[in-house]
Amino acid sequence: MKFLLATTDPQKLPVTILSRCLQFNLKRLPQPAIRKQLETLLEKESIGADSDSIQMIARAADGSMRDALSLLDQAIAFCGGALKQSDVASMLGTIDRGYIFELLAALGQRDARALFQNVQNLAQQSPDFGDLLAELNSTLQRIALAQQLPDAIDDSYGDQERIHQLAKQLDPNDVQLFYQIGILGRRDLPLASNPQSGFEMVLLRMLAFAPAGSTASPSATPAGRADSSAQEAPAFKGAPSARVEKTAPPPTAATPAPATAWEQLISELTLTGLAKELAANCVLASRDEQNIRLLLRRPNAHILSDASRDRLQTALQARLGTTARLLIEVVDDATQESPAQLDQKRQQARQEAAQRTVLDDVGVKALIDTFDARIDNDSVRPLE
């Protein structure tokens, strides 16, 4: 008897299962392949369709030919025959990418009036502002890639010309800052009073801050006392200079481990599945123009495969703008801790802090003293 296990998250399977399996990574179909198949089908069925509508369906399919065919059937019925870009966009609930380019052009020109006029035009179409921000971030990523590797931008999205145009118009430092603000803004969007206002605040941050080449001048400490823990805050155009006083927390077991260089880098990569797990369990040993060398502890060697290494290498090359090869060495031990190990320590520190908070609560102490109550530590969870 043979068991076939299908999952999009193989890292969630127990190691005892993974070690006894032959693993086959099935790749998503690229958009050009889906689009070509759709064009062939439409031609055979003598159904008219403009280029943009086919591209929209191919993109919405997200690598699945089955989903593409289902969407095509729906689009033919929805459009009453010939496929038109406006009708397909309405059916899919997608926003014309032209709005995204107009937003980015206004940001590059620091034109607040044009920027928010575009937002008002978008609001009339009742978009999903979370998806809109994700689309903005995705476009910024393509622009950043075009600025480093122009030849790496294909026309699978139908936006190659506009991407190259914006890559020339926008300052690379601005693009990086816009992307970082956009990523953080999407995380915070559910906390906003409403999605549109949250989206507008993200754009306002992009307008307000821009990287400057200088830092704030240091100010005198009280009574002429030198303070080695004081550090200068980075200066931004349009923002006042500031001096930040940093006070180190007392050395307790709950002190979170600081982020490494490597940890910050992989947080900026769009990885999933085993490739993401591989990056999190590796340690950066060295890097030069020819090679990026990583160390992987032997107990985690099962997550290393040609496919996961290739996906990680592609993501690193795109992010760093390099053609360096990725070399991964399996070792018995490493001098540094991997991001996965650091994250586990941070989780443990948060758990211990949460348990101490419960124990120190006045109400909890009263319950313990009055009713001889007992705290079930397994039920205590830190707030994320």
Residue 216 and residue 200: Cα distance in Å, rounded? 28
Per-residue pLDDT, 242:
33
φ/ψ of residue 45, rounded to 5: -90, 0
> Are 80 and 144 a contacting pair, CB within 8 Å?
no
Per-residue pLDDT, 369:
82
Identify the three-state secondary structure at position 179.
helix
Domain regions of the chain by residue span:
1-94, 97-208, 261-336, 340-379
Cβ atoms < 10 Å from Cβ of 85: 16
Q: Which long-range contacts (CB under 8 A, 24 or more apart) does 93-102 make?
A: 93/128, 94/56, 94/60, 95/122, 95/125, 95/127, 95/131, 95/132, 95/135, 97/135, 97/139, 97/157, 97/158, 97/159, 100/132, 100/135, 100/136, 100/139, 101/139, 101/159, 101/162, 101/166
> Are 126 and 143 a contacting pair, CB within 8 Å?
no
Per-residue pLDDT, 343:
87
Closest CA to 109 of 162, 174, 159: 174
> 1-94 has which fold?
Helicase, Ruva Protein; domain 3 (1.10.8)
DSSP code of 237?
T
Identify the three-state secondary structure at position 128.
coil
Please list the pLDDT of the chain residue by residue as tens digits (384 residues). Answer: 888 888 878 888 888 888 888 888 888 888 889 999 999 999 999 999 988 889 889 888 888 888 999 999 999 988 887 888 888 887 887 667 788 999 999 998 888 899 989 898 888 877 888 888 988 999 999 999 999 998 888 776 678 889 999 999 999 999 999 999 999 998 888 888 889 999 999 999 898 876 655 343 333 333 333 343 333 333 333 333 333 333 333 334 445 556 677 888 888 888 888 889 999 999 999 988 899 999 999 988 988 999 989 999 999 998 888 899 999 999 988 788 898 888 888 888 888 888 888 888 888 888 888 878 888 888 888 876
Which secondary-structure segment (H or E) carries 284?
strand 282-287
Please identify, in words, the CATH class of the domain defined by 261-336: alpha beta
- Residue 86 structure tokens: 């406006």
Per-residue pLDDT, 211:
63
Domain spanning 97-208: CATH 1.20.272.10: yes
Residue 6 and residue 233: Cα distance in Å, rounded? 49
